[in-house]
Amino acid sequence: MGALPTPLALPLGYPVYCANGVLAQVGAVVRDTAPAHRVAIISDRVVGAHHASAILAQCAGVPVQLFTIPPGEQEKTRARWAELTDALVAWGAGRDTTIIALGGGVVGDLAGFVAATFMRGLPVVQVPTTLLAMVDASVGGKTAVDTPAGKNLVGAFHNPSAVVIDPQVLETLPPAVLRSGLAEMLKHGVIADPSYFEQVLAALPDIVRQGAKAHGLDTLIAGSVHLKAHVVAEDTREGGLRQILNFGHTIAHAIEKVRQYDMLHGEAVAMGMVVEARLAEQIGLAHQGLSRSIRDAVQRAGLPATLPPGIDLAAVVAETHGDKKARGGAARYALPRAIGEMEAAEGRWTVPVPDDVVMTALTESVGAPA
């Protein structure tokens, strides 16, 4: 099987392995970074059917068990967290257990929260299987579940012992799910690096046409992880700079809630970035044309740039007040001044925007009826 690949050079306290074929070494990563007497794999039923058997085989010699949930954002709940923790107790898991989170962002968040809270904290190895999870959710230690009041409102910071990213697993994804991750890659360029933004733009035609087999996708994934890791390292608890990672997400989370999570997260983020860039233009932070540039990039990625016709815009505005960044009942937004530059007035990385301005931007962003 050979030695583990060299982890990415990142300012984190845990290794991130990003290499084609590294899924075959998850067992070695666990033994190296989170040795345990028991291994619990948490996945969803679709991902588990594709990849769990290979990881189960790598954990020979210790008790290992697969726990699965149905796929979908609607499963990221306190009820599922309770079911999983009860199942771990029934299986006999203790503090000698390591959890492997095998799946997309929903599994990563949920399994990470189980690991953060079970017996006050177990090691977790994140094994993301979607592009979005690879470049975003698996790195940074944020874990959470949703509540009826909003997304990710109950959670904990709990860094993984390691992250294992194998771009080859993306070949099993439907094209729409793969494209969903491109929203986060574009976002990383907008918030931190205009040259990376241009690299993603240049690669979009090949990625849209060839999917996971596109040349250089692994390099772009590593670049995106690099950008996020440097932001996270500066602000581990999301009290300052790390808030820029929420660009596009205040609107995205509100859209998801109003639409009852009937779309992919990356699709909502794509819409949210266009709207929030328009907010930055409307309040004079950004030059006119920024939202057009982001809208063009989103469309080239095959992602929606407009809100669904008929969506309740007043409900979307109302939902923004439940966002984690809201203060005193007012919604705050992480807004760009330009590609690669975020607003940081008076050392704060979010900006309050009046509801009427948000409503105007939303109204301008609704798509035409089919």
Which residues are the active-site residues? 120, 142, 184, 228, 238, 242, 246, 249, 253, 265
Do residues 129 and 96 make contact, with C-beta atoms less than 8 angstroms apart? Answer: no
Do residues 211 and 171 make contact, with C-beta atoms less than 8 angstroms apart? Answer: yes
The tokens describing 348, both together, are 């704060």
Q: Token pair 């931007």 is at which residue?
A: 361
Task: Output the CA–CA distances (angstroms, integers) from residue 261 to 161, 255, 268, 272, in the order listed.
Answer: 30, 8, 9, 14
Alpha helix (H) residue ranges in 156-264: 175-192, 194-210, 217-234, 249-258
Taking the alpha carbons at both ends of the chain, their separation in whole angstroms is 53
User: What is the rounded distance in angstroms from the CA atom of residue 137 to the CA atom of residue 101?
Assistant: 11
User: What is the rounded distance in angstroms from the CA atom of residue 305 to the CA atom of residue 171?
Assistant: 25
The tokens describing 73, both together, are 């954002």
Q: Residue 238, class by beta-carbon neighbours within 10 Å (0-12 exposed, 13-18 middle, 19+ buried)?
A: middle
- Distance between alpha carbon 343 and the CA centroid of its chain, in Å? 22
- Following DSSP, what letter does each residue of 316-330 receive, concatenated? HHHHHTTSTT-BTTB
